[in-house]
Amino acid sequence: MLAILGTIGLVIAFIAIGLWVDRHVSILPRPEELALDPAEERQRKSLRGEHEPGAAPESAITATAAELERLVRRQRHCRRRMEREPDDVVRYGDRMLTVLRFHCAACGARARVYVAPG
């Protein structure tokens, strides 16, 4: 009898721990996250005023020269590395930002990344 109660107690404890971990850590994506198209998610973020790091002046990335080169190598579109265009320097508030400009040779898409010297 005690073995059965002990087993039931262990099963309940593991279920409770699993539920707690799932709510706080979210190992698996939620159904509403799976339903969103990446383009819809980007549009929803832009409507809320949220930007990915470096996508807007207020979310500029602070980077050193070495980090800047890594950032340039990571810019991809159509599964290809984007070509770099000439940089611009802009003033945003009291900060000077460098705008890295890229374009995709395959489809013509353009991207820019705002970087603060670091």
**Burial call 63-79: b when 16+ CB within 10 Å, e when fewer:** beeeebeeeeeebebee
In terms of pTM, does the model score above 0.85? no
Give the start-to-end residue ranges of the domains of the chain. Answer: 52-117
With vertex at residue 101, the alpha carbon angle to CA 66 and CA 62, rounded to the nearest 5 degrees, is 40
pLDDT in tens, the chain (118 residues): 889 999 999 999 999 998 888 777 766 766 766 665 666 766 666 666 666 777 888 888 888 888 888 888 888 888 788 888 998 899 988 889 999 999 988 888 888 899 998 7
| pLDDT the model gives residue 6 | 92
Instruction: Provide the pLDDT for residue 106.
Output: 84
Q: What are phi and psi of 56, to 5 degrees?
A: -140, 160
Long-range contacts of 14-19 (CB under 8 A, 24+ apart): none
pLDDT value of residue 4: 93
Residues 85/101, Cβ–Cβ less than 8 Å:
yes
CA–CA gap between residue 38 and residue 47 (Å, rounded): 14
The confidence score (pLDDT) of residue 50 equals 64
